[in-house]
Structure 1
Amino acid sequence: MFEIRSRTGRIFLQIFATVLLIPFAFPLVVMVKGAFAGEGLGNFQAVLRVPGFGRFFVNSLIIAAAVIVLVYVVTMMAAFGFAKLHIRFREVYFWLLLACLTLPEVVLLAPLFATDTKLGLYDTYWAVILPLAALQVPFAVLLTRNFINSLPDELFEAARVDGANSYRGFIYLVIPLTRPIGAAVLIFTLVAAWNDYLFPLVFLQSPDLQTITLVPQFFVGEFSNDQTKILASAVITAIPEIVAYLSLQRLFERGLSAGAIK
């Protein structure tokens, strides 16, 4: 990483970064401004009064937590295997896994619907959790593998000399040392699972299982389209993600910068 020592250079870099941020911040400003238009705080109160809002929030929390756990466990084990274990044809398997990044959600709807129906998973949490986790694993493995590759091989060799097998090396070396990239994986997975709209809409039909991303549909009808309340629901939906990012910001930035460079 480079470091700018001069005051003029730091000021120029700050101005440059601020200018780059404007196109991304503008939609957020418009969303928040629109959420307070009209009735103001009444828009948020109307969203919170939606029948079953609390249950929708809990459903989203359950799905996001399950997806995060699955993605974290699978990603760490796969990335460790691809980075440090001598597996035959591991590069072939790795590139086959990355090929899954080309699969969008909409392409998978028909086969997933048939599979869920046959296995009896339709209209259950697992109908959403498993596909979401599977779609997040390839990118998470790509980041995590690069991070684990940067760990010195001498650490693992010393562990083997002390009698530790691959399992103990994974538990006592990889897991503690990959906290930064683990935070990055957590944030990316949380955003994807929490914001997903398509899978809950298609695979969850029971009102008791619907997620918070489906709340805006209560304000869209044949003769009504209350944009202020839709934007208010979007603001409320984004709060958990913002809190999670602010809580893990330092680890997230370290992990993302290290995981993006081999």
Structure 2
Amino acid sequence: MLTARTTGGKLMIQLVLTLLTIPFVLPLIAMVQGSLAGTGWNNYRTVLSVPQLPGFFKNSIIIAICTVALVYVVGLLAAFGFSKLRIPGKEFFFWLILAALTLPGVVMITPLFKTASTLNLLNTYPAVVLPLAALQIPFAVLIARNFVNGIPDEIIDAARIDGASTFQSFWHVVLPLMKPIGATVIVFTFISAWNEYLFPLLFLVDPSMQTLTQLPQFFVGQFSNDQTKVLASAVIVALPQIVAYLCLQRLFERGMSAGAIK
């Protein structure tokens, strides 16, 4: 790891890092300040008093947790297979999966809606969870495979000599070593699923099935546009993501650095 040995070098690094964070911090400060404008904390009380809020929160939690679990299991298993198993044509399939990274979710709205309607999945959690997971798995496989490439083959060979099957080698040997990259996958997937606006809006027809991303719509209408309540809603929606990141911060940072260089 590169470090600055002189005071001038340390100050320069600190200055550069501060300048890089300004574009990201200023909008957050403006959002919090705007949410406290007007009636102050009463804006948050009004938002928290919305009757549908508990249901929206429950729906968001269910969708986010199910998406994270699916991406975590499938992504890490696929990364292990692409990295350590001898599978015919695995490089072709790996690049085929990576090609999915170029597809934005918007272009797949029509076929996804038709498929969900045909399978009678509209207004159900799988109608949102499955597309979200499918869009996140390629990225999870990409970063997790780079991490698994750095795990010595000798460790897996030793487990097989001791009588472990392929799955047992993954579960008892590889998976514990993948905690940092697993935390990275969890954070990225949780943020993406929690912030998803379009898929719940289209696939969850019943208003009671909507997620927290629909909360600001209660304060925007034909004859009203209370931006202070909208910003307060945005702050409330963002809090679980901040908590998730803080809980997994150390593993997340280790996973990001390891997945980038291994």
Measured against the shorter chain, the TM-score band is: over 0.9
User: For residue 220 of structure 1, what is the amino acid of its counterpart?
Assistant: V
Query: Which digits, 9 at most, give the CA deviation of each residue in 1:193-221, with x for residues without a partner?
Result: 00000001111111221100001111111
The more displaced of 152-161 and 177-186 is 152-161
Name the SS of the counterpart of 2:261 in structure 1: coil
Look up the match of 1:90. 90
- CA shift, 1:9, in A, is 2.3
Q: How does 1:56-135 map to 2 (within 5 A)?
A: 56-135=56-135
Counterpart Cα distance in 1 of 2:200 and 2:95: 29
- CA shift, 1:165, in A, is 2.0
Q: How does 1:1-262 map to 2 (within 5 A)?
A: 1-262=1-262
User: For residue 6 of structure 1, what is the amino acid of its counterpart?
Assistant: T
Counterpart Cα distance in 2 of 1:237 and 1:146: 32
Give me the CA root mean square deviation. Answer: 1.0
- CA shift, 1:11, in A, is 2.6
- CA shift, 1:171, in A, is 0.4
Counterpart Cα distance in 1 of 2:141 and 2:44: 38
Counterpart Cα distance in 2 of 1:193 and 1:118: 24
Counterpart Cα distance in 1 of 2:24 and 2:238: 15
User: For residue 97 of structure 1, what is the amino acid of its counterpart?
Assistant: I
User: For residue 117 of structure 1, what is the amino acid of its counterpart?
Assistant: S
Counterpart Cα distance in 2 of 1:44 and 1:129: 29
User: For residue 98 of structure 2, what is the amino acid of its counterpart?
Assistant: L
CA distance 1:175–1:109, shift in 2 (3 Å): same
Name the SS of the counterpart of 1:260 in structure 2: helix
Counterpart Cα distance in 1 of 2:201 and 2:128: 10
The more displaced of 233-242 and 4-13 is 4-13
The more displaced of 43-52 and 57-66 is 43-52
What is the number of equivalent residue pairs in this alignment?
262
Query: Which digits, 9 at most, give the CA deviation of each residue in 1:130-174, with x for residues without a partner?
Result: 000110000111000000001111111211222222111100111
Which ranges in structure 1 are unaligned for 5 or more consecutive residues? none
Counterpart Cα distance in 1 of 2:5 and 2:254: 20
- CA shift, 1:60, in A, is 0.2
Structure 1 outlier segments of 4+, above 6 Å? none
User: For residue 144 of structure 2, what is the amino acid of its counterpart?
Assistant: T
Counterpart Cα distance in 2 of 1:54 and 1:179: 32
- CA shift, 1:50, in A, is 1.2
Name the SS of the counterpart of 2:4 in structure 1: coil
Query: Which digits, 9 at most, give the CA deviation of each residue in 1:44-96, with x for residues without a partner?
Result: 11111112101100110010000000000000110000111111111100000
* Identity over aligned pairs, percent: 59
The more displaced of 100-109 and 193-202 is 100-109
CA distance 1:4–1:158, shift in 2 (3 Å): farther
Which ranges in structure 2 are unaligned for 5 or more consecutive residues? none
Counterpart Cα distance in 2 of 1:77 and 1:6: 45
Query: Which digits, 9 at most, give the CA deviation of each residue in 1:100-154, with x for residues without a partner?
Result: 0111111111001110111010011111010001100001110000000011111
Counterpart Cα distance in 1 of 2:4 and 2:156: 35
